[in-house]
Structure 1
Amino acid sequence: MTDSFAVNKANWDERAVLHAASPGYGFDEFLADPAHLSQVVRFDRPRLGDLSGLRAVHLQCHLATDTISLARLGASVTGLDFSGPALAEARRRASAAGAVIDFHEANVYDAVDVLGAGRFDLVYTGIGALCWLPSVARWAAVVAGLLRPGGRLFIRECHPMLGTLDETVVPAVPRYPYFEHAEPLVFDEPGSYVEVDGEQAHTVTHEWAHSLGEIITVLLENGLTLTGFTEHDSVPWNALPGQMAPDDENEWRLTDDPRRLAASYTLQAVKSG
């Protein structure tokens, strides 16, 4: 059986280097403005609330633009990712931006073993994370394990409705699963969601779908209470080329009546005391 973890790690190790050189992550803005926040964190700023003094962990943190942003909002932040090259770049960026962040290299499923149980006030996951995990139930158990009683999960994610659509067809039509599946969807595609320039040797990825019902159910089963859920008609990248247009914050929506598509969502849940 193919090791999906190894396949995806090879892809993300390579992407990390390409992403670090891409203008798409806008790191120069972090250096120019000490108050600058990533687009993803800025979008959810009203929902995040006051983070001052909170112990936060950012799972699947990649190049740490969101991680640095959480630190700038006053949290004491730990970042975790499975890609060594991504973390090398994350450490460099955090240092240059003046952010003190504790980074760890590990599979997200091993986060409790690596970081310790019940240590965090906030578990944060940015957009584009859950599709790389075969089991959302295992992820929910990790979230519950990391949080202290009363601690909060905050996640913005691609909506599974958008995830079903074939972006190569105009107009896009459902092609991929909505519900979780045992065998991964296998893609072999060069390029990325931001502009990259360079050769790619590892273009294969393994991905999984997770329905909203499945995500919410496993959080409830692990002792979390849903406290906020908002669906959005936009995502922070051009998910359907030729069919979306950006706004002033570079959030992309359907050009023709965006009310037809739930593109992303923000979910919050609190661990029972």
Structure 2
Amino acid sequence: MSAPDPVENYGNTPRHIAVIMDGNGRWAKQRGLPRVAGHRQGVEIIKSMVQTCGQRGIPYLTLFAFSRENWKRPSTEVTLLLELLASTLENELLGLHEHRIRLRIIGDLSRFPQRLQQAITDADELTRNNKALNLTIAINYGGKWDLLEACKSIVELVEQGEIPSASITPELIESQLCTHELPEPDFFIRTGGEQRISNFLLWQLAYTELYFTHIYWPDFNQACFDKALQTFANRQRRFGKTSAQIKQLE
């Protein structure tokens, strides 16, 4: 299945928001706390954002929780972070299901502890038919890895004679990505002050509006989210067209 076409005008509200939740460790360091304390506080902000998306009618939210590069961090922090991911999934799963939230986990999951893999399996099985909000969490994910795996799948299809190489299209590539069931993000938010996409959704962010803020993720409260959404509402998405052409469609 290929990803749905980008929506050029979804009111003044993004249909799909992608977020890099940066600054947890620095937030904790400023307060003399262990880095994991920042990650724990970050979970509370996730809950708030999920609630707001539900209230605003935003149907897709994708969060970058753990990159393939994050394995380079101190082993103690990595272990605690993975334990936090597992416990959060276990503790929040029934609540997500009660609110009819569909939870997807994307990325290379083979390297994770059995407890986390089981929590991911349970979440997928319980929530797969929910329709209220599509919450996707990327762990051990990287945009280059995603594209590489898609290319491998397509090469295999060609080698098996299922498709000719001439039939390879952008739509085919999209159908092999981790996000093939999702529309492309309309709005990308990165907290923490860095202004880069850090190997997140490289293909999918081609026409996404980007928003960067110096505020650390644990401090990204409702007012901060509202400010970001207002910024999106004030932008004009043209997808290669002119402003005059867009106005004719309004």
TM class by shorter-chain length? 0.3 to 0.5
Instruction: Name the one with the larger helix percent.
Output: 2
Instruction: Name the one with the larger strand percent.
Output: 1
